[in-house]
A and B are shown apart, each in its own frame.
Chain A
């Protein structure tokens, strides 16, 4: 292995890592919002919303992310919806993660003891107040471990976006290899960068989880 190659490749790889992180962060934020409201729709009483939510989740969990990406980037232009590579990537990643997150949220809301709603409602809270003040704060704590997990998977999934020409970490590595012919070195450097990013977020989310759940276990 030639160290000078690594030193030369590092600045563009780091820049690409920033793109990877950006893709992951923007997508997870959209996915959280999407997943949250989809979960509410699926738990709620309105049949139409429930149906839409169920179909959405089933479709995006039931098909490969790569296919979703192709449909959005290569497919949609045929009906005159043309998105740039990065927005296409973010759209696919957040729709996909949103479907998984809505399942986590739904399970977490249903996991809160029924007695909690009853206690809130028996005092005179409306269903919405009970949800907001009592149920959701507890379900978010319950959901955090699976949320972290989904986020870690999402970071890894950003590498798929390389196939639609987004120069994130993996795509940048491939470009550099085309010039240097050092696939082992460059791909290993890329792997280490992924590993650092994922470890960083894992530690961060673990801490967050411990902090939010400290009153729930004795």
Chain B
């Protein structure tokens, strides 16, 4: 069953064409890993999915919600944008936790403000989510009092608090010290096992091998090649894929 569908997504910054006609369909419980050289448009693509960046053209479909690029921002559109965003959890490279709120308050914020969930219920759910990411004992800590890995796990819990249909991760471990990467990947892995639909921009090859149902290689704003992790890593067809894998030093010889 398809959960998310991107049709003809285009985006330019001035003269710089960053995405040229991206089409992508992702099924329920599928984990898609996107890789590609710096500047190839991976972040822009994720940001276009939730209209953090408005595409110049194209359609994003998520379940029964559908948002078209370039339509005037009237009431109807605001509503569908809100629905689209509520149903996609976004995890940022820099975590972007709310520094003036504790871990628990970070996780309660969305449900209370957006979904108007009662405070005690939001709190119960929030504690459960922090338990899930292994941080129940840190729920009263402020972000500055947490390590990068812990902050990113809180950020994942915060994204989950809206009960999204799909999770988007933009290089979730790139800002972390190497010894903190594993704990974050483990949380993501567990989520994948539970059947969460995910799009992950990452250069973590082991994660892609173990978890991804599909690996996509992007370059210059186009999808160069896609396939199973085995197909992409061990039998790449496109020259650009081969070059990318060589550059990141992971090609099998």
Contacts and interface: CB of A to CB of B under 8 A. Distances in A.
Interface stretch (A51-59, A98-106, A123-131): A123-131
A125 B113 contact: yes
B100 A129 contact: no
Given A115-B92, A123-B86, A123-B162, A134 B98 contact: yes
A165 interface: no
B82 A216 contact: no
A116 interface: yes
A129 B96 contact: no
B144 A216 contact: yes
Of residues A113, A122, A137, which shows the largest number of chain B Cβ atoms within 10 Å of its Cβ? A122
Nearest to A122: B90
A76 B110 CA distance: 51
Contact of A215 (B50, B86, B99): B99
B114 A125 contact: yes
Contacts of A115: 92, 94, 96
Contacts of A78: none
A86 interface: no
Contacts of A122: 50, 52, 85, 88, 90
B161 to A, nearest CB: 8
Interface size bracket, A side: 20 to 34
B109 interface: yes
A119 B96 contact: yes
A126 B96 CA distance: 17
B207 interface: no
A48 interface: no
Nearest to A116: B96
Contact of B142 (A133, A138, A215): A215
22 contacts: A113-B96, A115-B96, A119-B90, A119-B97, A121-B52, A122-B50, A122-B88, A123-B109, A123-B159, A124-B82, A124-B83, A124-B114, A125-B110, A125-B113, A137-B100, A138-B100, A141-B100, A215-B99, A215-B100, A215-B142, A216-B99, A217-B144
Given A119-B96, A216-B100, 18 more contacts: A113-B96, A119-B92, A119-B98, A119-B158, A122-B85, A122-B88, A123-B85, A123-B89, A123-B90, A123-B110, A123-B158, A123-B159, A124-B82, A124-B83, A124-B162, A126-B82, A134-B98, A134-B109
The 6 closest A-B pairs by CB, nearest first: A124-B86, A119-B96, A115-B96, A122-B90, A215-B142, A124-B85
